[in-house]
Amino acid sequence: MSKRSVEVTADLVLRAYRHGLFPMAEGRSADRLFWLDPVKRGILPLDGFHLSRRLLRTVLSGTFEVTVDRNFPGTIAGCATPLPDRTETWINSQIERLFTELFRLGHAHSVEAWQDGTLVGGLYGVSLGGAFFGESMFSFARDASKVALVHLVARLRLGGYRLLDTQFVTAHLTQFGAEEIPRDSYKSKLTEALAAPAEWLADPGWDALATEFRRIAGKLPIP
């Protein structure tokens, strides 16, 4: 007797995240998803984010126009685009469909970086309680994804979030303070974060953001 496969829905994805699991595909053309629950989990501590002076200047300079939730489909498509240092992607059509549905339901968000009206970088992820699950980022221009990440972290801090989950730790994320923690420690942090009364702040205002950027970089004291 064959086993019936369980349909992967947006609701199932949310329930999985609440239990510490997340979906991926083997590749862009894969027709199935699999669930991961790593022994070591990557996180980016919101109170220990490393923001260099150079990147702070770039963020404050207006080199990029940064928006939130303006073009979620374009952002996830950018993350799925092959690049010289990333020729394969785990984002298949099913992932795109599921996360676009989560965006429609208000659970997924994107941060976009633009130059001259063109989307040149960004990131997307899922928000539940005080936890943000970062999924992927892309950059077609120098510092575009980094600026988007700084904007994300500032919004999460201002909104009272407790956890920024990066799933894995890469060399790119290490420069910002990403670290690996054991699965049990992660799930303890996840439980606390899910219960936190956080708020997703799409537009907290430039003054609040600029102040938080400087605070993250250590230019202002923590109130």
- Please state, rounded to an integer, the average pLDDT across all residues of the chain: 91
Give the tens place of pLDDT for each residue, 116-146. Answer: 999 999 999 999 999 999 999 999 999 999 9
Q: Is the separation of the CB atoms in 75 and 122 below 8 Å?
A: yes
Q: Return all residues near 14 (Cβ < 8 A) that are at least 6 apart.
A: 102, 107, 126, 128
How many Cα neighbours within 13 Å face the side chain of 212?
20
Residue 156 belongs to domain with CATH number: 3.40.630.70
Residue 149 burial (10 A CB sphere; 0-12, 13-18, 19+):
buried
| Within-domain flag for 203 | yes
User: Which residues does residue 126 pair with via DSSP β-bridges, in sequence order?
Assistant: 108, 133
170 is a domain residue = yes
Residue 153 lies in a domain: yes
pLDDT given at position 88: 64
In this structure, what token pair is assigned to residue 66?
């940064």
Kindly report, residue by residue over 48-69, the tens digit of the pLDDT.
999 999 999 999 999 999 999 9
Which domain, by its residues, includes 21?
A: 10-25+48-216
| Domain assignment present for 43 | no
Measured distance CA(116)–CA(124) in Å, rounded: 21
What does the pLDDT read at residue 1? 37
For residue 136, being part of any structural domain is answered with yes
Query: Does residue 175 form part of some domain?
Result: yes
Residue 5 lies in a domain: no
Q: Given pLDDT bands bounded at 50, 70 and 90, which one contains residue 223?
A: low
- Residue 93 inside a domain? The answer is yes
The domain total for the chain is: 1
